[in-house]
Amino acid sequence: MAKNITYSILACFIFIINSITSVQIVEKRELECALSENVRENIANYAQVTNDIIDYFVKGPLKGKTWNSLSEFVDTFGNRLSGTKNLENSIDYMIEKTRENNIKNVYTEEVEVPYWLRGEEYALLMKPRVKNLPMLGLGYSVATPPDGIIANAIVVKSFDELKSLPDAEVANKIVVYDEAYVNYGVTVKYRSKGASEAAKKGAVGALIRSVTPFSMNTPHTGMQSYDANVTKIPVAAITHEDADLLWRLQERGKEIVIKMKMSATLSTKTSRNTIIDTEGTTKKDKVVIVSGHIDSWDVGDGSMDDGGGAFISWMAQIALNQMNLRPKRTLRTILWTAEELGLVGSREYGKRHRNETENLNFVMESDGGVFQPLGLIYSGSKTGECMIKEILKLFSSINATQIQTQGEPGPDIGMWTRDGIPGGGLLNEASKYFWYHHSEGDRLNVMDSDVLDLAAAFWTAFSYIVADIDSDIPRSP
C-alpha cells in the first residue's frame, strides 16, 4: 500500500507541476504537420456542430445548467471524502440524475478504498504565549497518543537545514517547516515527505507551512506518505501566518512549546467508479474516455477540486443526448472515486480493464480547476498532435485554441498516457487554483457560471469530435 501511495502522490505532483503553475506554459514549437487533405477536411467539417454545441451551452437550453447542477450537488452533499457515506450518497445521486436525463446506460464498479478519518485534531502554542494554531492533518497521518503531544518545537526553512542539525537538537521535538513557496511542484515535497524527514532525526511530530501561494490564515490539507522503515509520526499543515510567527519567535531566542493532538484512524470501505456510456454507432468497440473525480477532501465542498471537472464531463453526456448527437465511437464518462487518497478508483479500473487498452482511442480528464478554457494539455504522438491542433482551430470563437505538450494531462489517466495512449486535459486559466486547493476555500464561490458554460461546451464538443472523426488519434509516430 505504501508503495502505491507514494507512486500516486508522485503522479499527481507531475501532473500539477506541468499543468497548473502560476503561469500556464504553452508549447510554441511548430510541427511539420503532414496531415492528408482528407483528414483536414474531415475535421473542418465539424465547424458547424462545434458552434452548435457552444451555442447550446452559452445561449441555449443548457445556459447556466452546469453551475446550477454543481450548485445543487455541493449544497446537498458538501465534501466527499473517500470511504464516507456522504461520498456514496453523492454517487447514488449522480446515477439518479443521469437516469432522470433519459440516459439509461449508467453503472458502477466497486472499488475498495481507504477511509482516513481525521477525527478530533488541534495544535496549540503554549509558550511563549498561548495561541490556537489552525491546522489540518495530512492524509494518512497517524494519530498522536490520546492525550496528545506536548513538545518543544524547532523551526526550519528547508530539508537541507534540518539535515544539517545534530540529531540531538531535533530529537523529541516537533519540527515546524516554514518553507518558502516557490511553486506547487517544488514546494509540495515538504507536505509529502516532511514527516519522514523529521522522524529520521528523532522528531515526535511535524507541522508544515501550507503549500499555497496565498493565505488568509487558512490551512491546506493533502496527501503525504511515510518512508519505509521510518517511525510514523503525526503530521499536519498550519497557516503561512503561524509558520512565519513561529520562525520569528525562534529567531528571537524564545522557547516554543506546542501541544498537538490528532485522533486520525485508517480503515477501508467499498466505493464505486461511476460509468456512463453512449454506445458508438459504427465503431462502438473503440472508446473515448472523458472524466473527473467525484470525491474530495473533507474541507470546503470540493466545487473546484474536482466538482467542476466531474460535472463538465457529466454534462458532455447530457448535452449530446439532448442534441441527438451520437458519435461513431463509444463515449464513456467516468466519475472516479478516491482520487485524493491515491488515484485508487482509476488504478482499480485500469487493472480491471487492462485487456481493453487496445480499444482506447483517446482519454480525457479535467482535474486542474474549471476556469476560462484556453485549449488542451496533450500527450501523444506527433501525428496525433497535428490532429489535435487542427481540431482546436474550431474553437477560435471562444479563444480555446492553445495546446500544451509538456507534462501529463491528468493524474487519473496518467497510467494510459505514460503507455503511449493519446490523452488530453483541460488547459485553463488556473493561476489562482492553489489559493483554494485542499482548503476550506474550495467552495462554490470560486466557480463562475458563464465560465463553466464555456468549459463544458469546449469539453463536450472536443470529446464528441474525437469520438466521431473518421480517423483514430494515432499512437505513433
Query: Comparing C-alpha atoms, which of 369, 378, 364, 377 is closest to residue 429?
Result: 369
State how far the Cα of 8 lies from the Cα of 101, in Å rounded to an integer.
34
Q: Which position has the grid cell 528571537?
A: 252
What is the SS3 assignment for 226?
A: coil
User: Among residues 121, 179, 197, 339, which one is catalytic?
Assistant: 339
Q: Give the rounded distance of the alpha carbon of 170 from its chain centre.
A: 34
Supply φ then ψ for residue 405, to 5 degrees: -115, 10
Check the CA dihedral 323-329-335-340 and report its sign: negative
Residues 6+ apart with CB under 8 A from 73: 90, 93, 94, 307, 311
Compute the residue count for the chain.
Answer: 477
The DSSP code for 139 is B
Q: How far apart are the first and last CA of the chain?
A: 36
Q: Are 165 and 196 in contact (CB under 8 A)?
A: no
To which H or E segment does residue 373 belong?
strand 373-379
Residue 117's Cβ-count burial label (10 Å; 0-12, 13-18, 19+) is middle
CA distance 78 to 296: 9
Phi and psi torsions of 180, nearest 5°: -75, 140
Is 339 part of the annotated catalytic residue set? yes
Q: Where are the beta strands (DSSP E) in 279-367?
A: 283-293, 329-336, 360-365
> Residue 195 in contact with residue 233, Cβ under 8 Å?
yes
Order the strands of the 106-117 sheet from edge to edge: 106-117, 265-278, 329-336, 283-293, 360-365, 423-428, 373-379, 402-404
Burial readout 217-246 (b: 16 or more C-beta within 10 A, e: otherwise)? ebbbbbbbbbeeeeeebbbbbbbbbbbebb
Pair 445, 302: CB distance under 8 Å: no
Phi–psi pair at 38, nearest 5 degrees = -60, -45
Residue 416 neighbours by CB distance under 10 Å: 22
Residues marked as catalytic? 339
